[in-house]
């Protein structure tokens, strides 16, 4: 089972940089970069809410479940 983070795809669709998203959300570039590359073990709902608000998307746009991996 795998949860895939699609933050990079949503950011590309919205044409927003990591620096710009970091400023809008109030999260460090390092933490956003780790989330973007899938190197985190968890994410707070408040962080997810802030990212979705800044990108105008739903949590399901950022996370994808792939069974069996």
Q: What is the pLDDT of residues 25-57, one digit of tens each?
A: 999 999 999 999 989 989 999 999 999 999 999
Contacts of 64 (CB under 8 A, 6+ apart): 3, 4, 6
- Residue spans of the domains in the chain: they are 2-66
Structure tokens at 64: 């994808």
pTM: predicted TM-score of the whole model, two decimal places: 0.89
- Count the neighbouring beta carbons within 10 Å of the beta carbon of residue 20: 13
Closest CA to 16 of 32, 40, 34: 32
Q: Average pLDDT for residues 1-26, to the nearest whole number?
A: 94
Under CATH, which number does the domain 2-66 receive?
Answer: 1.10.260.40
């Amino acid at each position: 089972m795998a949860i895939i983070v699609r933050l990079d795809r949503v950011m590309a669709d919205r044409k927003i940089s990591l620096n710009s998203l970091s400023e809008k959300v109030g999260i460090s570039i390092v933490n956003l970069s780790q989330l973007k590359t899938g190197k985190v073990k968890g994410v707070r709902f408040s962080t997810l809410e802030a990212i979705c608000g800044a990108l105008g998307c739903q949590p399901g746009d950022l996370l994808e479940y792939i069974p069996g991996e």
